Structure 1
Amino acid sequence: MAIAVETTFHGVSLTTYDDLLRRLEFRRGGDSEPGCLFHYTVPTDDGFRGVDVWESAEAFDRFVGGRLAPVLEHLGIDRPEVTMAEVHNYLIAPPDRRDPS
């Protein structure tokens, strides 16, 4: 079952978020982690929030334990505040209607 995951990072800049992406070998507008259906990030008053839809809680847990946690530790970033909810529905644009930029 798909799940929505919000990760709120307090006291972490968007510049550090960009470094985190680079270290995870992601790029803006590029592919996400296997099992992550989509991801976006917004600034907050004291950091940033990532919002994802994952195929399952297990897929999210594999990413956190296998790839994300070691990079967070290396960068000295505390684990984020995480909230999860079951997804009733989500929509995505078909490939031929996505913005190429």
Structure 2
Amino acid sequence: MAIIVTFDLPGAGQELYDAVIARVTDGRGFARFADVGDPGLVSHAAGPVDGGFRVTEVWESAEALEAHAKTFGPILADLGHADLQPTIIPAHNVVVR
């Protein structure tokens, strides 16, 4: 079942987001995050919100997200955000164009 995952980064800005993305891509030999192609990632969007930054993703399953977290989690921990807990809800509908 598809899931919608929202990461809120209070007190953080685009700098943290860009640092995480740089490590995810550079550490795996990709020039852009769009090229990473993690199995199960349907969509990814990020942008500023009052008091921080938000990332919203759609994953094909919780298992696909968990596999990605093995790469993403240690990077966040290294950057001082180990306590980040996403909000996860089941997707009722997903439209991909």
With structure 2 as the length reference, what TM-score do the two structures score? Answer: 0.83
What is the rounded CA distance, in whole Å, between the counterparts of 1:9 and 1:63 in structure 2? 18
Q: Which residue does the alignment assign to 2:67?
A: 62
Q: Secondary structure at the match of 2:86?
A: strand
Q: Secondary structure at the match of 1:88?
A: coil
Return the offset for 1:78: 3.8
Question: Which of 72, 79, 97 is the equivalent residue of 1:75?
Answer: 79
Q: Which residue does the alignment assign to 1:44?
A: 49
Query: Which sits farther off after the overlay, 71-80 or 35-44?
Result: 71-80
What is the rounded CA distance, in whole Å, between the counterparts of 1:42 and 1:35 in structure 2? 22
With structure 1 as the length reference, what TM-score do the two structures score? Answer: 0.80
Matched, 1:24 2:29: no
1:41-70 superposed Cα distances (whole Å, 9 cap, x missing partner): 021112111101001011112211x10111
Q: Which residue does the alignment assign to 1:34?
A: 39
Query: Which sits farther off after the overlay, 47-56 or 79-88?
Result: 79-88
- Higher-Rg member (1/2): 1
What is the rounded CA distance, in whole Å, between the counterparts of 1:11 and 1:75 in structure 2? 13
- How many aligned positions are there? 91
Q: Percent identity?
A: 36
Letter of the 2:55 partner, please give it: G
8 Å CA contact 1:35, 1:59 repeated in 2: yes
**Coordinate RMSD, CA, aligned:** 1.6
Q: Where in structure 1 do 4 or more consecutive aligned residues deviate above 4 Å? A: none
